[in-house]
Structures are given as C-alpha cells and as structure tokens.
Homo-oligomer: A and B are copies of this chain.
Amino acid sequence: VSLARIGSELRCQCISTHSKFIPTRHIQDVKLTQSGPHCKNVEIIATLKDGKEVCLEPTARWVKVIIKAILDKAQASAESQL
C-alpha cells in the first residue's frame, strides 16, 4: 500500500480531465495538487459522495466556482457561529 502510494505520487495522476459540470452537492472533497518534478500539470481531483474519483479540468470556470462555493460555505458557517 505504501509503495503504491509512493508510486502514485511520482507521476501525474490524471490521464484525462472531466470538463462537464458536476454539482457541488455530489462532491465530497476536492484536492488541488501543484505541478512539480512528478508532474508538469496542476491536478484537481474530486472525490464524489459515491466514492468515485474524478480528475477535473483546472482551467474550467465551474471548477473555480465550486472551490469558491466550498470556501464561501466555510466563511458563512464561521460567521454564523459568532
């Protein structure tokens, strides 16, 4: 398991990216990985609520909108706890 994990971190994770809109409510989490020696691309991988992992297109507008929506939700929740 450990080796597989190390292996997967030494190369790009995404062969292709999904550019069609996925509603925020279907998304559990979104991971943004910086480009680097392991991969020249920024990679964005969403884990859906059904457990599927999907590579998102980092330049797609809706991807930015979803990330902003998650951040805004955190902000709203923090403010409601004041």
Contact = CB atoms under 8 A, between A and B. Distances in A.
A61 to B, nearest CB: 10
Stoichiometry, copies per complex: 2
Interface in A25-82: 27-36, 40-42, 44, 58-59, 63-64, 67, 70-71, 73-75, 77-78
A58 B78 CA distance: 9
B30 A31 contact: yes
B31 A24 contact: no
B31 A29 contact: yes
Q: How many interface residues does chain A have, given as a range?
A: 20 to 34
A34 B42 contact: no
Contacts of A32: 29-32, 67, 70-71
Q: Give me the 9 closest cross-chain CB pairs, A-B, nearest first.
A: A58-B74, A42-B74, A29-B33, A31-B31, A59-B78, A32-B70, A30-B32, A59-B75, A1-B1
